Amino acid sequence: MKVGLYFDLRVPARSGLAPARVYAHMLEMCEEAERAGIDSVWFSEHHRFDDGYLPQPLTAAAAVAARTRRIRIGTAVVVAPLHHPAEIAEQAAVVDLLSGGRLDLGLSGGYRVPELELYQRSSAGRLDTTVEMARQLRTLWTGGATPAPVQSRLPIWLGFSGPRGARAAGLLGEGLLFLNPAQLTPYRQGLADGGHDPGGARVSGPVFALPSEDPERDWAQAREFIAYQQDSYRRHSVEGMPVPPRRPFDAEDARTRPMSRPGYFWFDTPEALATRIRDSVAGLPVDTVFLWASVGGMPEDLVERNVSVICQRLAPLLKTAPCLHSDF
């Protein structure tokens, strides 16, 4: 399997970091990661986060495209209901041209009420809207919008976590951006029902983990940033909804949870993480897994250490794991 890095470019007020420097450092880390052999970098989209979570992933992708030559550049994800298909078709094509054909476009329906309100969108039918965007992108790239991407079939990944979404990704013949063995059957069934080869199934997605050469030494410092990040997700995920606040994140419990349970976040040696990741995705046709380069406003020295350990120690262990294509 291939290995990537994920950047959210958060700048918590307590971090004392300057946003412009965080963005500049991200570009430096992408260049360094490329030199160190990483396969890809990924960016997401969120709005109205109090720490400035990256709101425009394709803009960041364009900047990385101009600074790199080999690595693939992905979105995980563009929130499809917030955008017009023609806008995303054009933006994605420009990034693909700037990168020489290295873009992977991940789409999903989003989940945050404040984001939908900001763009004056409804929360209803988000999955169907995302599926329709994927369909329209294929049409737009073959004559409905200019310029065209470099790649004749620019990879689209659909970030759906449930069986209906997994089947929808299969029906379209697109990749599934979610690492869950339980979704493989509906995904492959969708491929078959859509007239696609189930043997061409491909799955990618994030792994909530950070490697450390000495986990016990580094845990006290790392847990502060991990807890901030995960508590932020918990708080923002229910913002604007008539539900009680979620329980605070339990970092100790998260270290031992399996990938199949929400709220996991592993922190261990590269060898231990490689084993857990391989075991957790066994049987899946995995193309790429990606891990956070920075968590919760980490200072530059920690980000650099994360990138170094992921690129030089963890990635080589995971790249020895084959991409499994099980028979349908």
Residue 112 CA to residue 84 CA, distance in Å, equals: 18
Band of pLDDT at residue 323, cut at 50, 70 and 90: low
User: Percentage of the chain with pLDDT > 70?
Assistant: 97
pTM above 0.85, yes or no: yes
Tell me what pLDDT residue 322 has: 57
Would you list the DSSP string of 225-250? HHHHHHHHHHHHHTTTSSSPPPPPP-
Query: Smallest Cα–Cα separation from 154: which of 195, 113, 101?
Result: 101
Tell me what pLDDT residue 240 has: 76
Run of H or E residues at 145: none
Q: Looking at the predicted structure, is the pLDDT value of residue 316 above 70?
A: yes
Band of pLDDT at residue 327, cut at 50, 70 and 90: very low
State the DSSP code for 149.
P
Tell me what pLDDT residue 183 has: 97
Q: What is the mean pLDDT of residues 120-131?
A: 96
> Which single residue is written with the structure tokens 């960041």?
60
Average pLDDT value over all residues in the chain: 95
Residue 325 CA to residue 328 CA, distance in Å, equals: 9
Q: Does domain 2-207+214-220+268-319 have CATH number 3.40.30.10?
A: no
Query: Smallest Cα–Cα separation from 115: which of 156, 143, 85, 78?
Result: 78
Q: Looking at the predicted structure, is the pLDDT value of residue 103 above 60?
A: yes
Sketch the domain layout of the chain as residue ranges.
2-207+214-220+268-319
Query: Smallest Cα–Cα separation from 288: which of 106, 28, 151, 57?
Result: 106
Q: What is the mean pLDDT of residues 183-212?
A: 98
Tell me what pLDDT residue 328 has: 30
Would you list the DSSP string of 252-263? HHHHHS-TTSTT
> Crossing angle of helices 85-99/57-67, nearest 10°?
10
Tell me what pLDDT residue 321 has: 60
* Tens of pLDDT, residues 39-75: 999 999 999 999 999 999 999 999 999 999 999 999 9
Q: What is the mean pLDDT of residues 72-88?
A: 99
* Tens of pLDDT, residues 235-255: 888 887 777 767 889 999 999
CB 187 within 8 A of CB 325: no
